[in-house]
Amino acid sequence: MQEITLDQVDTSNYDVIIAGGGAGGLLTALALTAEGKRVLVLEKAERLGGVWHSYWVDGYRVDQGLHVITRVTRGAFVRFLKTYLSPPPEFVLHEGWQFRVHDKVGTIPSSVGETLRWPLTGWKGRLELVRIGAKIKTMKLEEMQKYKDISFLEFMKSKGATNQVILDVMQSAIYMAAGVPITQASAYEALRTLKDTDKESSKLGSVKRLLLGSGEYDFDEGYVIGGMEELVQRVVTAINGDYVLNAPVEKIHEEKNQVTSFTVSGRKYNHSCIISNIPLWSMNSIVDTSTPNNQVFFEKCCKQIPTRAITLWLGLNKVVIGNRKNSVIVHPNPNRWVVSISSFDPSCAPEGKELVAIAMIALPAKSVEEQVQIMKSNGFERYYPDVLKHIEMEHVQTSYATRAALIPGQTDLDRPGPRTPIKGLYIVGTDTAGSGVGLQQAAQSADGVVQALREDV
């Protein structure tokens, strides 16, 4: 794609207009390129990528929030990159999760045998985990769907969960995926995350893996060599079309239920196919329609609640943590994760130094400074005190991590999908469709919109 100015825009040169150049919009454009289409991306900000982004701070390359790419060997996001980028990007696999409860460290057990040796609880807790773990691991997707309108805590309690350590470990794992505590997370989405349903297989297969262990690291996560920005730039280069920066789409117009035009910086342009990557919460004020059915659709969409995250990046003058694990600090508040990004990709830190991230879901009642202090004292001071002695760069980010938290009423079963009631107007992004989290969700929504376009031709 080439950057152009609004003065140069001639919409008859493009098959599709994409409003918003975040992950959903760019991945859609990439797939459309492979179908021979030419796109125009209109981006409100001064760069492409949305929250999919990285930049340099004092010699360290930090990502906008991103800590791990989920499902790096078989997920929709990686499938996009492997299908459309040549050579495909290189991923470094994550070596697993560590859950720290008081002074004990455990992983997520992947078999009955491992559960019976789990160091984080006593015998009673282990037996409880075996019983509930077996239930979750053998559950089919259709059964999970029955729990979409209750919270994960309600589900756990209904299955007889009483052990606080188990609930706190679940809380930590689900917080990251759903963006809310287990009192609010949809049980269906939490179960999908824990079961990792992309790998849906026969009940017998699940039982076998449960008893014998999977023999492989089950969570299939990693990081990309070169960081997120390089990936964004490779995607942008591979797309056939043009983009305009600092170009907020102010209105999308329809006539007789067919999209006809859009307004950017006070100028109106005609086009009959628009894909919007604009967060659904603002579409209500952007779509210019007086049809009651359409109004109801966009009003409903704008009620989506996002997840908010806060990340503290620390550049260390020596390697202190040095592993490729995601450490989850469960005690005393189960919502913090530590990852040493430079252990995956050393190019993000100066030689011999380390780039570490600690992240948590934002606590609305506290200031950013207070939350940074919580991460330092309840995260590093207790478990990695050496980190605090070697800081030479400190950088804080706050952002929405996903545009729709995985709560009852906005699970992937409730999201609107790629189509709107207006012909020719489609929606894409993490709040529109798709299971999983973050980039997987964005990629799945892009899959959905490309499929819808094919069907509607």
Question: Which window, 39-47, 161-169, 202-210, 292-300, contacts ligand FAD (CB under 6 A)?
Answer: 39-47
Q: Looking at beta carbons only, is 153 or 273 nearer to ligand FAD? A: 273
* Closest CB 45 distance from ligand FAD, rounded Å: 4
Residues 6+ apart with CB under 8 A from 457: none
Site for ligand FAD in 168-197 (CB under 6 A): none
Residues 115, 346: contact at Cβ < 8 Å? no
Site for ligand FAD in 305-324 (CB under 6 A): 309, 311
How far apart are alpha carbons 4 and 350 in whole angstroms? 35
Site for ligand FAD in 15-34 (CB under 6 A): 19-24
Which position has the token pair 């756990």?
156
* Closest CB 154 distance from ligand FAD, rounded Å: 26
Q: Looking at beta carbons only, is 209 or 336 nearer to ligand FAD? A: 336
Q: Looking at beta carbons only, is 63 or 168 nearer to ligand FAD? A: 63
Per-residue contact track with ligand FAD, 68 to 87, x per CB under 6 A? Answer: xxx-----------------
Near ligand FAD by CB under 6 A: residue from 166, 374, 442, 450: 442
* Closest CB 249 distance from ligand FAD, rounded Å: 4
Side-chain half-sphere exposure of 59, counting CA atoms within 13 A: 11
Q: Does 64 bind ligand FAD (CB under 6 A)?
A: yes
3-state secondary structure at position 12: helix
Q: Which residues, listed in sequence order, are joined to residue 394 by a DSSP beta bridge?
A: 314
DSSP code string of 321-354: S--S-EEEE-SSSS-EEEEEGGGT-GGGS-TT-E
Residues 321, 329: contact at Cβ < 8 Å? no
Q: Looking at beta carbons only, is 161 or 249 nearer to ligand FAD? A: 249
Q: Does 248 bind ligand FAD (CB under 6 A)?
A: yes
* Closest CB 119 distance from ligand FAD, rounded Å: 26
How far apart are alpha carbons 55 and 64 in whole angstroms? 8
Q: Looking at beta carbons only, is 161 or 252 nearer to ligand FAD? A: 252
Q: Does 227 bind ligand FAD (CB under 6 A)?
A: no
Q: Does 433 bind ligand FAD (CB under 6 A)?
A: no
* Closest CB 380 distance from ligand FAD, rounded Å: 18
Residues 6+ apart with CB under 8 A from 171: 181, 182, 330, 334, 335
* Closest CB 142 distance from ligand FAD, rounded Å: 26
Site size for ligand FAD (CB under 6 A) = 38
Runs of H (alpha helix) within 138-277 = 141-145, 152-158, 164-178, 187-195, 203-212, 227-238
How far apart are alpha carbons 376 and 383 in whole angstroms? 10
How far apart are alpha carbons 291 and 255 in whole angstroms? 10
Question: Which window, 61-69, 380-388, 405-413, 415-423, contacts ligand FAD (CB under 6 A)?
Answer: 61-69
Question: Which window, 38-46, 91-99, 100-108, 155-163, contacts ligand FAD (CB under 6 A)?
Answer: 38-46
Q: Does 110 bind ligand FAD (CB under 6 A)?
A: no
If we measure between CA atoms, which residue out of 289, 291, 284, 286 comes closest to residue 254? Answer: 289
Q: Are strands 425-427 and 104-106 parallel, antiparallel or unpaired?
A: unpaired
The binding site for ligand FAD (CB under 6 A) comprises 19-24, 42-45, 50-52, 64-70, 248-249, 277-279, 309, 311, 399, 401-403, 429-430, 437-440, 442
